[in-house]
């Protein structure tokens, strides 16, 4: 957090007009990455709906396509709450959300409460074999009709992940993998970890999100966000 | 027996005695023993009136034009009581059977008419045709639980045959010249006129068709309209008779015998592609598409492996079907080498294409993408099987485990517009299939770790009417490691605590 604050607060040198002009040019180009300055990344991502999280993600939001890993020590840490704004915008675009082998029954009233229409949701059941699940995930990522593919798979080798990443880029789709354990050398462009906020009094709403890795970001960052604000 | 038009000799005893009798008696329904099923009005007419024979015996012409059609009418009076749609359906069925004796079968009210001149040479004679057809038709009628009799007759005109059949004469008239005298003895009821017209004819003293022949046609036309005259002219072969012919439903089965046995399914793909090309060509020519087809892999001395392909949206795209087939092949294990391939179309659909309009329609892209989506769904279904893809929907129920349902994707084609009220209290994303009993240790609830209740209770009481009473207090709890759980306590019985879901 402190790093962010510093970077935002650092005033840009405004004495030299020419320098200012160059700075503007640099800011305007989303393809140019300035290693030490997150603020200069522009906003080419899709807003997460949580402003604190936007601040620590490159591109100020979720990437438009690619693979993302969300790591939670166990299910039920608010990992889906994190994605509610994203799911809503995907549904509004008329695209489908595919849930591949979720660990429990997906509960429709909760979706309705979150404002997510159930008409464009498909679930591939848990008892599907891992091979078939991966196959359908790859196909879904390649299909432009699916805006978001959520999958629950714990151990995937790097080769598979790279393949899924490629598929996601072809279909311009975002894939999210939910895992229990972090694997250090995973090729996915974004890895997030959700931790319980360590405050003493039990707080239902707060959680700590740390970005373990994000392509375009050079050091791990974390923030506290109020996960259940969308209910 | 030879074609009676070419040779005047008849093997029929009745015919030979007359030299060139134009009306012969066909086997009557009574011979097969179901005359009891006939109402008395029809059964009393069954002996052929000898006067018809005698009146026409002199008019025999040795030379008869070749290729005069001969129309064989099958009349089913029992269909009269059924609804029109059902009549049409049954006639369609029967026409399919009648196709076994004739290539031209046409539909008429309560009747089918087949052209049998062209079949006479093949079957030998008309009795052979009748003997072949009768058991088939009676079987079918019996299956439909209808009285299993029908009336029949044959003559050179369609309307003439129909009139003869309606009269119950079961007669055969070979020559057009004799038709007038054969028809003349029929009562006017066979014309099936309106009540009013019947009454007027009766008042004019007209009882039989021959009475009509004697009247001037101009006057008749004035009094009874041109349809009436037209019908009579058609019966005599003086007016053309347009018909609505039976078209057999399309069918497509094709197979290919492999020159050698194959075990590698990938090697089959080029052959399958070839067959699919034929299939798509067939569909394109008939402007059809298919939504269900079956692919058979035949093995030696074994049952063939069947690949059943249901398409969500009817298609005739070779690439699409090929892609589905490849997907099926990846899952398939064959018990023995394949010796032949067979494709059969099970269901035909009309071909629907999207219009290539000049101005882009607003929802055309949506349609296109929908199409893409359907293809993707089909591929998923082909790979995973029908039961593995579910859609979720809300049900208006208070009981938490019944408030959400998972349906097979096929069953929920219509977007479910159930306006189930959204509950105010927060619900979890994950629900356990079965509630899990929680333990209590040292006064604290335990799942994997100790739980702290954050919120609650929310009482849910329902199903008191069904015997399995649901009466629970729901709480939101937080586990020490950070998960948020949805737990409840039973208000009755042992008052146990259960875990029912996870907030995710």
Q: For residues B161 and B304, state if they share a domain.
A: no
Q: By the 8 A CB rule, do B498 and B436 touch? A: yes
Q: How far apart are CA A61 and CA B492, in angstroms?
A: 49
Among B429, B451, B479, the strongest candidate for a mutation testing the A interface, having the largest count of A CBs within 10 A, is: B429
Range B71-85 average pLDDT: 88
Q: For residues B310 and B360, state if they share a domain.
A: yes
- Tens digit of each residue's pLDDT (9 = 90 or more) over B320-367: 889 888 888 888 888 888 999 999 998 888 877 665 555 555 544 455
Q: How far apart are CA B240 and CA B233, in angstroms?
A: 9
Q: For residues B237 and B305, state if they share a domain.
A: no
**CA–CA distances in Å: residue A142 to residues A65, A149, B169:** 11, 10, 72
Q: For residues A189 and A112, state if they share a domain.
A: yes
Cβ-Cβ contacts under 8 Å, B430 against chain A? 75-76, 102-107
Report the side by side order of strands in the sheet with A105-106: A105-106, B430-437, B497-503, B484-490, B470-479, B451-462
Q: What is the pLDDT of residue B6?
A: 40
* Closest residue in A to B331 (Cα–Cα): A132
CATH of the domain at A66: 3.40.50.300
Q: For residues B293 and B372, state if they share a domain.
A: yes
Q: What is the pLDDT of residue B353?
A: 66
Whether residue A73 and residue B481 make contact (CB cut-off 8 A), yes or no, is yes
**What ipTM was assigned to the predicted interfaces of this complex?**
0.77
Residues of the domain holding B480: 430-503
Closest in B373, B403, B478 to A202, CB measured:
B478
Q: Is A70 on the interface with B (CB under 8 A)?
A: no
CATH of the domain at B173: 3.30.70.270
In a domain, B399, yes or no: no
Q: By the 8 A CB rule, do B461 and B470 touch? A: yes
DSSP designation for B304: P
Determine if the peptide bond prior to B457 is cis (ω within 30°). Answer: yes
Q: Is A22 on the interface with B (CB under 8 A)?
A: no
Residues of the domain holding A8: 1-42
Q: For residues B18 and B79, state if they share a domain.
A: yes
Q: For residues A8 and A94, state if they share a domain.
A: no
Q: For residues A74 and A61, state if they share a domain.
A: yes
Q: Is A207 on the interface with B (CB under 8 A)?
A: yes
Helices B364-384, B318-331: crossing angle, 10 deg rounding: 20
Q: For residues A205 and A137, state if they share a domain.
A: yes
Tens of pLDDT along chain A (231 residues) come to 444 444 444 455 555 677 788 877 777 776 776 665 554 455 567 888 888 888 788 777 888 888 888 888 888 788 888 888 888 888 888 888 899 888 888 888 888 888 888 888 888 888 888 888 888 888 888 888 888 899 988 778 888 888 898 888 888 889 999 988 888 778 888 888 888 765 545 455 677 888 888 877 666 777 887 776 554
In a domain, B113, yes or no: yes
Q: By the 8 A CB rule, do B299 and B338 touch? A: yes
Q: For residues B236 and B328, state if they share a domain.
A: no
Q: How far apart are CA B430 and CA A76, in angstroms?
A: 8
B460: part of which helix (H) or strand (E)? strand B451-462
Q: For residues A129 and A62, state if they share a domain.
A: yes
Report CA torsion sign: A178, A182, A187, A191. positive
Cβ-Cβ contacts under 8 Å, A104 against chain B? 430-433, 501-502
Q: Is A199 on the interface with B (CB under 8 A)?
A: no
CB pairs under 8 A between A and B: 157
Closest in A73, A146, A204 to B478, CB measured:
A204
Tokens 């992940």 sit on residue: A161
Q: How far apart are CA A79 and CA A97, in angstroms?
A: 16
> Is the model's pLDDT at B12 over the cut of 60?
no
Q: For residues B200 and B280, state if they share a domain.
A: no
Whether residue B482 and residue A207 make contact (CB cut-off 8 A), yes or no, is yes
Range B50-68 average pLDDT: 43
Q: Is B501 on the interface with A (CB under 8 A)?
A: yes
Q: Is B481 on the interface with A (CB under 8 A)?
A: yes
Whether residue B373 and residue A145 make contact (CB cut-off 8 A), yes or no, is yes
Q: For residues B235 and B126, state if they share a domain.
A: yes
> Is the model's pLDDT at B159 over the cut of 70?
yes
Within a 10 A sphere around the Cβ of B31, how many other Cβ atoms? 9
Q: For residues A108 and A205, state if they share a domain.
A: yes
Phi-psi region of A18 (alpha: psi -120 to 50; beta: other; left: phi over 0): alpha
DSSP designation for A126: T
Counting the structural domains of chain B, the total is: 3
Q: For residues A95 and A38, state if they share a domain.
A: no
Q: Is B404 on the interface with A (CB under 8 A)?
A: yes
Distance from CA of A136 to the nearest CA of B (A): 7
The predicted model scores a pTM of 0.57
User: Among residues B417, B416, B423, which one has the least CA distance to residue B397?
Assistant: B423
A76: helix, coil or strand?
Answer: coil
Q: How far apart are CA B127 and CA B24, in angstroms?
A: 11
Cβ-Cβ contacts under 8 Å, A204 against chain B? 454-455, 476, 478, 484
Q: For residues A63 and A126, state if they share a domain.
A: yes
Counting the structural domains of chain A, the total is: 2
**CA–CA distances in Å: residue B437 to residues B106, B137, B249, B434, B446:** 72, 67, 60, 9, 10
- Tens digit of each residue's pLDDT (9 = 90 or more) over B446-485: 887 888 888 778 888 887 787 777 888 888 888 877 788 8
Cβ-Cβ contacts under 8 Å, B393 against chain A? 108, 118
Query: What string of H, E and C letters represents the secondary structure of B163-218?
Result: HHHHHCCCEEECCHHHHHHHHHCCEHHHHCCCHHHHHHHHHCCCCEHHHHHCCCHH
Closest in B380, B395, B481 to A74, CB measured:
B481
Q: For residues A128 and A212, state if they share a domain.
A: yes
Q: Is B435 on the interface with A (CB under 8 A)?
A: no
Cβ-Cβ contacts under 8 Å, B376 against chain A? 139-140, 143, 145-146
In a domain, B167, yes or no: yes
Q: How far apart are CA B226 and CA B229, in angstroms?
A: 5
Q: For residues A68 and A5, state if they share a domain.
A: no
Q: By the 8 A CB rule, do A97 and A90 touch? A: yes
Closest in A77, A107, A112 to B422, CB measured:
A112
Q: For residues B322 and B233, state if they share a domain.
A: no
């Amino acid at each position: 957090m402190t790093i962010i604050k510093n970077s935002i607060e650092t005033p840009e040198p405004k004495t030299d007009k020419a320098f200012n002009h160059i700075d503007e040019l640099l800011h305007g180009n989303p393809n140019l990455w300035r290693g030490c300055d997150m603020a200069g990344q522009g906003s080419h991502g899709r807003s997460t709906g949580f402003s604190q999280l936007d601040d620590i993600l490159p591109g100020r939001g979720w990437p438009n396509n690619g693979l993302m890993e969300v790591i939670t020590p166990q299910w039920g840490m608010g990992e889906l709450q994190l994605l509610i704004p994203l799911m809503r915008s995907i549904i509004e675009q008329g695209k489908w959300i595919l849930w591949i082998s979720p660990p429990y029954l997906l509960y429709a009233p909760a979706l309705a409460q979150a404002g997510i229409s159930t008409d464009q949701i498909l679930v591939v059941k848990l008892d599907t074999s891992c091979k078939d699940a991966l196959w359908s995930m790859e196909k879904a990522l390649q299909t432009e009709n699916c805006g978001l593919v959520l999958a629950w798979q714990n151990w995937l080798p790097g080769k598979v992940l790279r393949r899924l990443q490629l598929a996601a880029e072809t279909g311009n789709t975002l894939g999210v993998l939910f895992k229990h354990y972090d694997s250090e050398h995973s090729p996915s462009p974004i890895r997030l970890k959700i931790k319980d906020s360590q405050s003493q009094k039990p707080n239902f709403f707060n959680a700590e999100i740390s970005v373990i890795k994000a392509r375009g970001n050079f050091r791990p960052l974390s923030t506290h966000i109020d996960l259940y604000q969308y209910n | 027996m030879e074609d009676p038009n070419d040779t005047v000799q008849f093997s029929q005893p009745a015919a030979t005695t007359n030299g060139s009798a134009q009306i012969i008696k066909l086997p009557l329904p009574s011979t097969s023993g179901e005359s009891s099923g006939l109402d008395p009005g029809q059964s009393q007419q069954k002996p052929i009136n000898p006067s018809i024979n005698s009146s026409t015996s002199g008019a025999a012409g040795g030379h008869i034009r070749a290729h005069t059609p001969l129309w064989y009418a099958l009349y089913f009076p029992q269909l009269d009581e059924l609804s029109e749609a059902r009549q049409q359906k049954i006639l369609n069925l029967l026409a399919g059977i009648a196709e076994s004796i004739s290539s031209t079968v046409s539909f008429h009210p309560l009747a089918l008419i087949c052209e049998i001149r062209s079949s006479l040479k093949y079957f030998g004679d008309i009795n052979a045709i009748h003997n072949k057809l009768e058991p088939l038709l009676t079987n079918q009628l019996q299956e439909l639980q209808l009285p299993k009799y029908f009336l029949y007759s044959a003559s050179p005109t369609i309307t003439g045959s129909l009139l003869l059949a309606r009269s119950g004469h079961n007669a055969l008239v070979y020559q057009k010249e004799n038709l007038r005298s054969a028809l003349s003895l029929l009562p006017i009821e066979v014309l099936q006129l309106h009540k009013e017209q019947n009454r007027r004819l009766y008042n004019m003293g007209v009882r039989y068709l021959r009475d009509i022949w004697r009247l001037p046609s101009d006057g008749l036309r004035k009094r009874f309209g041109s349809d009436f005259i037209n019908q009579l002219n058609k019966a005599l072969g003086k007016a053309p008779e347009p018909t609505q012919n039976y078209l057999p439903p399309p069918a497509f089965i094709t197979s290919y015998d492999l020159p050698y046995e194959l075990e590698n399914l990938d090697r089959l793909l080029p052959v399958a592609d070839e067959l699919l090309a034929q299939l798509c060509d067939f569909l394109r020519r008939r402007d059809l598409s298919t939504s269900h087809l079956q692919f058979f892999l035949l093995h030696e001395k074994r049952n063939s492996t069947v690949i059943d392909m249901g398409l969500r949206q009817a298609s005739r795209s070779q690439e699409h079907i090929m892609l589905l087939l490849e997907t099926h092949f990846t899952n398939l294990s064959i018990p023995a080498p394949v010796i032949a391939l067979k494709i059969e179309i099970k269901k035909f659909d009309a071909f629907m294409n999207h219009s290539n309009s000049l101005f882009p329609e607003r929802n055309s892209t949506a349609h296109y993408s929908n199409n893409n989506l359907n293809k993707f769904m089909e591929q998923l279904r082909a790979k995973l099987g029908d039961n593995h893809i579910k859609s979720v929907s809300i049900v208006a129920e208070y009981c938490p485990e019944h408030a959400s349902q998972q349906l097979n994707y096929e069953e929920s084609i219509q977007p479910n517009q159930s306006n189930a009220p959204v509950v105010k209290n927060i619900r979890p994303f994950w629900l356990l299939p079965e509630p899990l009993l929680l333990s209590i240790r040292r006064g604290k609830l335990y799942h994997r770790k100790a739980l702290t209740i954050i919120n609650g209770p929310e009482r849910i009481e329902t199903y008191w009417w069904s015997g399995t009473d649901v009466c629970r207090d729901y709480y939101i709890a937080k586990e020490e490691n950070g998960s948020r759980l949805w737990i409840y306590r039973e208000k009755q019985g042992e008052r146990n605590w259960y875990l029912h879901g996870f907030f995710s």
